[in-house]
Amino acid sequence: MRFLGAFGRFWYDFVIGDDWKIAAAVVAALTLGAIALAAGLPAGAAAPLTGALVAAGFLGALWVDAR
């Protein structure tokens, strides 16, 4: 049972890390990218859109933390 707890703590620390806002922004950006692909947007357009959303989420989290 201790192994499962340690395994869960490792993945939480690996995914969430120091800032939960960045992890949430990445999940939201990937979700929106998947929705865009499901809606019929070509992959060549969805990939840069998803990348821009990840960058915007990171910059937003950085702006909030810097204030």
Residue 48 predicted with pLDDT over 90: yes
Q: What is the pLDDT of residues 8-45, one digit of tens each?
A: 999 888 888 878 888 899 999 999 999 999 999 999 99
Q: Give the span between the Cα atoms of 52 and 29, in whole angstroms.
A: 9
pLDDT of residue 19: 82
End-to-end, the C-alpha distance of the chain in Å comes to: 42
- pTM to 2 decimals? 0.76
Is residue 49 within 8 Å of 36, Cβ to Cβ? yes
Amino acid identity at 62: L
pLDDT of residue 11: 87
